[in-house]
Amino acid sequence: MKRIGMLTSGGDCQALNAAMRGVAKCIFNSGEEVEMYGFLEGYRGLIYGDFRMLTGCDFSGVLTKGGTILGSSRTPFKTIKDPDENGLDKVEAMKQNYYKLRLDCLVILGGNGTHKTANLLRSEGLNVVTLPKTIDNDLWGTDMTFGFQSAVNIATDAIDCIHTTAASHGRVFIVEVMGHKVGYLTLNAGIAGGADIILIPEIPYDIDKVIDKIEERNRNGSKFTILAVAEGAISKEDAKLSKKEYKEKMKNYKYPSVSYEIAEKIKERSGHEVRVTVPGHTQRGGSPCPYDRVFASRLGSEAGKMILNGEYGFMVGYKNREIVKVPLEEVAGKLKMVAPDARIVKEAKLLGICFGD
């Protein structure tokens, strides 16, 4: 008999349920006797032994359902080795609950922090298989993560909707897209939505270059401008600061986010009326798009096959349009970022899109 544990950790996103369904269907359809346990609210459930048995019925009707049927929570890797408020050794507790249930494998769905802890558990001797989840598409070792394309669709819809009101009123509009450290989501949604300016964390911006682009559009008869701005967009001045200096500066930061700072500077220096729209967590919500349903199902089925074959210690990734096995130690602690000279950036510039550099 195979005994399998499963959990979803970190922020939720679309297609988590589709990916778990893919794992479950592959294993339940194998003909092998199986017991499956779902740990509730991510690593917290594994730490405190909060789980429930899962059957095929639990995965019926979840292909199109957003969020996660197991619930999720953030258990930061940087504190995972610290005892909890009652002195409990969290890593040891996870190991003990794994052994109490006599698990053959633990299936973990998550992003960067989740993979760090997953790799820690692997190094502690547990059998682990992971699946790449994040709307940021910033996981090392895979060209694509599930949740990303659904989030691109939502962010693009937001930019599309802004176009009509921006054109009607001749205003500058900023649409703030999720992404603190990495700009894949903003970059793709910005191109798809026809943004005139795209600002991402990997390419520090010069506010004067941003204003120059707005003025250029005005001279050419375009009375409105749309900016797609990542949450983590940073000015060239701030990019030169040390981490300590930047952290000190942010203690007295007066704006809700960088988009509002950019909006104020544009208005002060150019006189243009500026509005800010923040789609926020809508980008992580709702049903997965068809692409993510297919993609997550494929990853899940491959993970199930790996478990049946006893292949552990891998993330199921996607490279060069093929599903691949990526050793967890190669994934953990690495961030996949947009290269400033990436072809997609160069192609966007050929379209006339300004990156503020």
> Each residue of 103-150: pLDDT tens digit?
999 999 999 999 999 999 999 999 999 999 999 999 999 999 999 999
Angle in degrees, CA 252, 283, 193, rounded to 5: 100
CB 19 within 8 A of CB 316: no
Candidates 55, 60, 58; CA nearest to 36 is 55
Residue 130 bridge partners (DSSP)? 108, 315
| Average pLDDT of the segment spanning 248-255 | 86
C-alpha to C-alpha distance for 273 and 173, rounded to whole angstroms: 9
> Distance from CA of residue 95 to its chain's centroid?
27
Structure token digits, residue 300:
């899940």
User: Domain 2-147+288-331 maps to which CATH number in 2.70.98.50, 1.10.620.20, 3.60.10.10, 3.40.50.450?
Assistant: 3.40.50.450
Query: 41 in the Ramachandran plot: left (φ > 0), alpha (ψ -120 to 50) or beta?
Result: left
Per-residue model confidence (pLDDT) at position 289: 97
CA dist list (Å): 222 to 90, 191, 225, 281, 348: 58, 18, 8, 31, 19
Tokens 């120059």, residue located: 212
The yes-or-no verdict on residue 331 having pLDDT over 90 is yes
Residue 136 a catalytic site member: yes
* Alpha helices (runs of H) in 231-271, residue ranges in sequence order: 236-239, 243-250, 258-270
Residue 283 bridge partners (DSSP)? none
Which pLDDT band, with edges at 50, 70 and 90, does 249 fall under? confident
DSSP string, 3-53: EEEEEE-SS--TTHHHHHHHHHHHHHTT-S-EEEEEETTTHHHHHHT-EEE
Amino acid at residue number 187: L
Proportion of the chain above pLDDT 90, given as a percent: 89
**What pLDDT, in 10s, does the model give residues 21-55?**
999 999 999 988 999 999 999 999 999 999 999 99
Per-residue model confidence (pLDDT) at position 167: 86
SS3 content of the chain, % helix, strand, coil (to 5): 45, 20, 40
Helices and strands, counts by H and E, the chain: 13, 11
Q: Is 248 exposed, middle or buried (0-12, 13-18, 19+ CB in 10 A)?
A: exposed
Per-residue model confidence (pLDDT) at position 243: 86
Amino acid at residue number 46: L
The yes-or-no verdict on residue 257 having pLDDT over 90 is yes
The yes-or-no verdict on residue 339 having pLDDT over 90 is yes
Domain range summary for the chain, segments of one domain joined by +: 2-147+288-331, 150-284
- Which member of 58, 136, 138, 292 is catalytic? 136
Per-residue model confidence (pLDDT) at position 113: 94
DSSP string, 154-198: HHHHHHHHHHHHHHHHT-EEEEEES-SS--HHHHHHHHHTT-SEE
Q: Is 64 exposed, middle or buried (0-12, 13-18, 19+ CB in 10 A)?
A: middle
> Distance from CA of residue 322 to its chain's centroid?
21
Return the sign of the alpha-carbon dihedral for residues 238, 239, 241, 245. positive
Candidates 203, 159, 239; CA nearest to 355 is 203
Which pLDDT band, with edges at 50, 70 and 90, does 251 fall under? confident
**What pLDDT, in 10s, does the model give residues 67-107?**
999 999 989 999 999 999 999 999 999 999 999 999 999 99
Return the sign of the alpha-carbon dihedral for residues 29, 33, 38, 39. negative
| Average pLDDT of the segment spanning 240-260 | 89
DSSP SS3 for 56: helix
Is 150-284 in the same CATH topology as 2-147+288-331? Answer: yes
CB 320 within 8 A of CB 114: no
Per CATH, is 150-284 categorized as 3.40.50.460?
Answer: yes
Which pLDDT band, with edges at 50, 70 and 90, does 246 fall under? confident
Non-local CB neighbours of 251 within 8 Å, separated by 6+ positions: none
CB 129 within 8 A of CB 307: yes
The mean of the pLDDT values for the chain is 95
CB atoms within 10 A of CB 63: 18
